[in-house]
Amino acid sequence: MFFVRKSDNKRDPRIGTGRTGEDLAVCYLESHGYTIVERNYRMRIGEIDIIARDGECLVFVEVKTRRSSRFGSPFDAVDFRKQQQVSRVALAFMTQNRCGEMPVRFDVIGVHLEKQSPRIELIKNAFEYCG
């Protein structure tokens, strides 16, 4: 079951949209056997939306949420620059938490907040490490 949270930020509704998408993504991942390790892992150089385990694999998940297709697919927003940023933050997380020997994967979740019900798409291994 998925719950859509209304924006709790009066100034910028995109923050509420993004948070709703991340909440839905966490529910989706957990229902597919992932274990959530951390959410919104922030560093000066960037942020990773979700860090999870899928079996023995450490998975860094970027979540993009759209209310319409007016600005393209959610996946279009994960360009090479974003992939580099996520990769750098992932490397820092792995170094800080001493998990350099674990297999790693980068997934992207697209959340489409449609009027009837949200639609969630997962691309496993969406990109390789881009250092």
| Spacing of C-alpha 129 from chain mean position | 15
Residue, of 9 and 14, whose pLDDT is higher: 14
pLDDT at 10: 53
Mean pLDDT of 98-118: 89
Note the pLDDT tens digit of each residue in 25-70. Answer: 999 999 999 999 999 999 999 999 999 999 999 999 999 988 767 6
Is the sign of the CA dihedral 67, 81, 60, 36 positive or negative?
A: negative
pLDDT at 14: 52
The HSE-up count of residue 73 (CA atoms within 13 Å, CB side) is: 11
Q: Which helix (H) or strand (E) holds 14?
A: helix 13-31
Task: Indicate the SS3 state at residue 75.
Answer: helix
Closest CA to 20 of 117, 122, 125: 117
Mean pLDDT of the chain: 86
Instruction: List, in order of start, the domains of the chain with CATH numbers.
Output: 26-122 (3.40.1350.10)
Query: Band of the pLDDT at 16, cuts 50, 70, 90?
Result: low
Whole-model pTM: value is 0.84
